[in-house]
Amino acid sequence: MAGRSQPALLAVGAAAVFLLAVGLTLGQIAAVPWTIVGLGVAYAASLEGNDLDGRVPLYAAGLLVTAELAYWALQLRDGARDEPGMGPRRLIGLLIAAAAAVVAGSLLVAVAHTPLRGGLVVEAIGLAAAIGALAILLLAARRA
């Protein structure tokens, strides 16, 4: 995907941040996923060339942390006051999750860098695996 001009990317990113700010202010939980989509679109639009971006695990962890913090803020809006010690505990959990996201993302980047021989068959298996993973995710979400 060709990179886009800086002002356009900044506009998309700023719009996403603005949406998050408005959503947190008004207590609109639906603003969070759309914020992540906006930030993801801004990142995707910034990609240039065919080389895999090595910083993507950091972006992935950043998106996860952004989403988690936003949901945390919205949870605290409901008025239930946390007892002392709950905040730091949750923050530590979030940092662990972010670190795990970086590690997982780095593994995926390493796997993506590995050249695979097999041509169309391998491509088809990969596509089926991706669709299968998608289906499992959606099924799990639906059953829940």
Partner 1 sequence: MTRSASPKLGAYAGLAALGLLAALALGRAELAVLAAPFAVAIAVGVPWAADPGMRAWVTLDRDRIIEGGNVGVEVELESVAGVQRLEVLLVLPGGLEAVGPNPVALRLAPGGSRTTEFTVLAPQWGAYRVGEVALRSSDRLGFFTFETQIDQAAPLKVYPHPEELRTMLRPLDTQPFGGNQVARSKGEGIEFADLRPFAVGDRLRRINWRASARRGTLWVNELHPERNTDVVIFLDSFAEARRDERGTLDMAVRAAASLADRYLKHKDRVGLVSFGGLLNWLTPATGLVQLYRIVDSLLDTEIMLSYAWKDIEIVPRRTLPPQALVVGLTPLLDARAVGAMLDLRRRGFDLAVIEVSPEPFTPPPDDELGRFAHRLWLLRRDALRDRFRSLGVPIAEWREGSGVQAPIEEVRAFRRYARTRR
Measured distance CA(111)–CA(124) in Å, rounded: 17
Stretch binding partner 1 (CB under 8 A), from 6-14, 17-25, 72-80, 114-122: 72-80
Using CB under 8 A as the binding rule, whether residue 127 contacts partner 1 is answered as yes
Q: Quote the DSSP letter at residue 71.
A: H
Measured distance CA(41)–CA(99) in Å, rounded: 23
Residue with Cβ nearer partner 1 (81 or 117): 81
Measured distance CA(101)–CA(72) in Å, rounded: 18
Interface residue with partner 1 among 9, 15, 56, 69 (CB under 8 A) is 56
Exposure of 55 by Cβ count < 10 A (0-12 exposed, 13-18 middle, 19+ buried)?
Answer: exposed
- Residues in the interface with partner 1 (CB under 8 A) total 52
Residue with Cβ nearer partner 1 (21 or 134): 134
Q: Do residues 47 and 1 touch, judged by C-beta distance below 8 A? A: yes
Question: For residue 140, what are its two tokens?
Answer: 């799990």
Binding residues for partner 1, rule: CB under 8 A, are 1, 29-30, 32-33, 36-37, 40, 43-44, 47, 52-53, 56-57, 59-61, 63-64, 67, 71, 75, 78-83, 85-86, 89-90, 93, 97, 100-101, 104-105, 108-109, 112, 127, 130, 133-134, 136-138, 140-141, 144
